[in-house]
Each structure stands twice: as C-alpha cells, then as structure tokens.
Amino acid sequence: MSVITRAEPQHEPAEESAVTAWRPLTRIVFRFCVSYFGLYAVLTQLISPLFGFFSSPSAGVNVSGLMTPLVDWTAAHIFGVRAPLVHAATASSDRTYDWVLLFCLLVIAAVATLVWSVLDRRRTRYPTLLAWFRVFLRFTLAGQLMLYGIAKILLTQMPSPPLTTLVSPFGELTPMGLLWSSVGAAPGYEIMIGSFEAIGGLLLVLPRTTTLGAVLGTVGLTQIFVLNLTYDVPVKSMSLHLLVMTLVLLAPELGRLFDVLLSRRPVGLSTQPPLFRAHRAARIALAAQVLLGLWIAIPIVGDCAAAWREHGASRAKPPLYGVWNVERATEEGKEVPLLITDEKQWRRVFFEYPDEFKFQRMDDSIGFYRATVDVTGHRLALSRYDRPDQVTELRVDTAGPDSLKLSGTLNGHRTEIWLRRLDLASLPLLSRNFHWVQDYPYNPNSR
C-alpha cells in the first residue's frame, strides 16, 4: 500500500469558517514574516539576482542607503555609537551599519505587524498572500543559492590558494583565510558543496520541487552559517537570514516531512494554496516561473564564468609566474646580508597576475605594486597603488627558466637582486595527490 494518498481538491468557501481559520499566533507570525523579510530582502542585496540581465548578480543591488539617515540616528542616539559608520560596500554583512539596520527593520516590522493586526483583525487567513509570499521567498533564495553554488562549481568563490599563502606560516593565516585556502585546495569538495547549493536553488524554481529544494537549502545553509561563525567570515547575519527564510518556506510542510520520515501514517499531497485555481492561469504562472528561473540563472552563470576566465586556473599567467626566492642582493655594489631582522629586505617576490607584483619581506609581511612586465624588453615597471604616477623601473635579466636578476634604483639606492624560482611541485599541498591505498596517514607535521 502506498504511503501517498490523493488529497481532496481544496475549494475556498464563500465565507471563512472556524475549520479553515488560522490560529491567532499563526496570523501574527505570518504578518511579521511578510513585513520583516520583505523589507530585509529589498533593502539588502538579496534580490539582486532577480534583476537578471539588467544587473550583475555578484555586484549586488543595495538600496539600504534609503535607510541611512534612520540608521545613523539610531546608532548615535540609541546605541551610543560615536564613530562614523561604514556605509560603503565592503563584502561584509556584519558592519555596524548592518546590525543597526537589522534593529531598525525589527522595530518597523513589529510596528507594521501591530498595525496590520489591528486594522485587519477580522481576517482569519491569508491563502492568496501566502502563495505569493512563498513565491517571493522561493526566488529570493533560489537566486542566492544559485549565485554562491555556481561560484563554487566554477571555483571562483574560493579559488586555489594564492602563491603568497603557499609560503606563509600557518599561524599567520586569518581564520577566514584558512577556510578559503582549505576549500580552495580541495576543488572536488568545493564543486560538491557548490552543486548542493545550486541544485537546491534550481529546485526552488518549480512549485512541485520546492520542499526538496528547501530541505537541501536548509542543510547547505546550516553548514555555511556554522562555517561563518567558526571561521569569522563576515556574512554571518546574511547567512542566518537565508537559513531562517528556508525554514519559513519549509514550515508548512514540516508535518508532512515528519510523516514521511518518522511515522507510519499516510501522507497526503501538499495543501499549500496555488497562485491561481484556473488551469490555464496556473499553466501560465508555471511557465512564467520557469522563465524567471532562467532569467536569474543565465546571468549568474555568465558572471561566474567571466570571473573564472579572469581569475581562475585557466587565466593568462605572466611569463615569470611563480615564487622567486632571493638568493643574493647588493646595494651600491656592497653585499647585503639576508638577515631575518632586516624588515626592509626582500625575502621572496611573486609573479601571479600580469599587472601585479608582490614581495615578501624578511619578517614575512607582504607588499604590493602595480606592475608592467616586459621580459623581452628586460623591463619591469613598478608603481604604488596610492601613487600610480611614481614609477620605478628595474631591468630584468634571466639566466635560464629558473634564474632571475633584477637591477635598478630602489628606495634611492642602486640595487641588484638575484632570485631563483621555487619548484611549486615540491610543496606537499600541490604535489600530494589522491590515494585509495595508504598504509599510514601522511601528515608529517603532526605527532
């Protein structure tokens, strides 16, 4: 006997009865969720993927600036914040501005819920509004899950560790840097968790697969939220909101899920209200939702693919790509001892991107220059990011593929530096491949 039974068609009565009425607490919670999550999604970047081809999804569409006067006043007069708030986008959802904004939204949503409950106290259920609110949640979540999932699938959110990280002491990595490097060093794992997120987002596009998509989204977002907490990734508040939104979307189906997984009772079809009862209108609505899903997904794929071509493993690499260790240096013709106490002396230089030059000092701190490299012309032009008009030119001489000499004037002194390229294959993180058979764990740095 099948555990799935066909539910009787649901017909809306002419007048609401006590049987179909929602509980008072359910009505209050629903009004608050509509008010709060509607405001939150609109006033942050969550709805940006819905703009499709008219907006770059990863750039975000943030209109929270409309709340800036209220947020600034609340921060100063309610929370006593004296320092100026950071209003510029910083890839963080955990700025002081964001937390004060959340407080303002909570107050506004609470007031809106109170007013709504008083003015609309005779209404006992909201089937039509619930149906449209679920659509709003579905596509808001679908856009975010597809955005982050596809970015992981194409290895652009957490790329392979940069050259500077490969030679940096472990203890100098930040928790977020460690997470990014760990996941980036395991592309198969990153693709797997990205596929989990992207599939969950795609399943949210169709009404019939919404419950499964919400389940996958809940599992994936729980992991993301915990990682953000434990590795201090500054998107804690946003990931928490996404997780709660999936739970709100999943809440009406929790009883059916319980029956499927934990009880022996028959499970009926979902009784969630449809957008339209007429078959023709329902088919048009379904087609529109599929088109909206494509409208969201295609620009995300294009945006992430462009990022992969520019920053991914197949990007164009400079001719001197690699890590170069300083073997010898002279200044004004005199030998410069390579002492770890000399904070100004270079220890390594890095050629990772065509327009960037990095160097590591003896104290392991990293410096950056804009760079133009012309190996055939024996020219390396360097300029500081804050002073692009001040250019330092060095001569580049190569003696074989792994030997390099830089000469010119640095910091007002005639300088010559001899370098040798590090064999990246000598690093266990890059050379240690997959093994089905291992008689002993390979972890030489642990006891």
Tokens of 223: 């992991």
CB-based contacts of 68, cutoff 8 Å, min separation 6? 87
Q: Are strands 379-384 and 366-374 parallel, antiparallel or unpaired?
A: antiparallel
The beta strands (E) that lie in 206-319 are given as 267-268
Nearest to 148 by CA among 191, 182, 207, 209: 191
Q: Three-class SS of residue 66? A: helix
Q: Helices marked H in 268-374 — which ranges?
A: 279-311
Domains of the chain and CATH, by start? 20-311 (no CATH), 322-428 (2.40.128.280)
State the distance between the two ends of the chain, measured CA to CA, in whole angstroms.
57
Instruction: Give pLDDT tens digits along the chain (447 positions).
Output: 344 444 444 444 444 444 488 999 999 999 999 999 999 999 987 888 988 887 654 444 456 678 899 999 999 999 999 999 998 888 889 999 999 999 999 999 999 999 999 999 999 999 999 999 999 999 999 999 999 999 999 999 999 999 999 998 888 899 999 999 999 999 999 999 999 999 999 999 999 999 999 999 999 999 999 999 999 999 999 999 999 999 999 998 888 888 888 887 887 777 777 888 888 998 999 999 999 999 999 999 999 999 898 888 778 888 899 999 999 999 988 898 888 888 888 999 999 998 899 999 998 889 999 998 988 888 999 998 888 778 889 999 998 889 999 999 888 889 999 999 999 999 999 888 888 998 888 888 776
Residues facing 379 on adjacent strands: 374, 395
Phi, psi of 332 (to 5 degrees): 55, 40
Amino acid 39: pLDDT: 95
CB-based contacts of 124, cutoff 8 Å, min separation 6? 16, 20, 21, 22, 27
119 CA to centre of own chain: 40
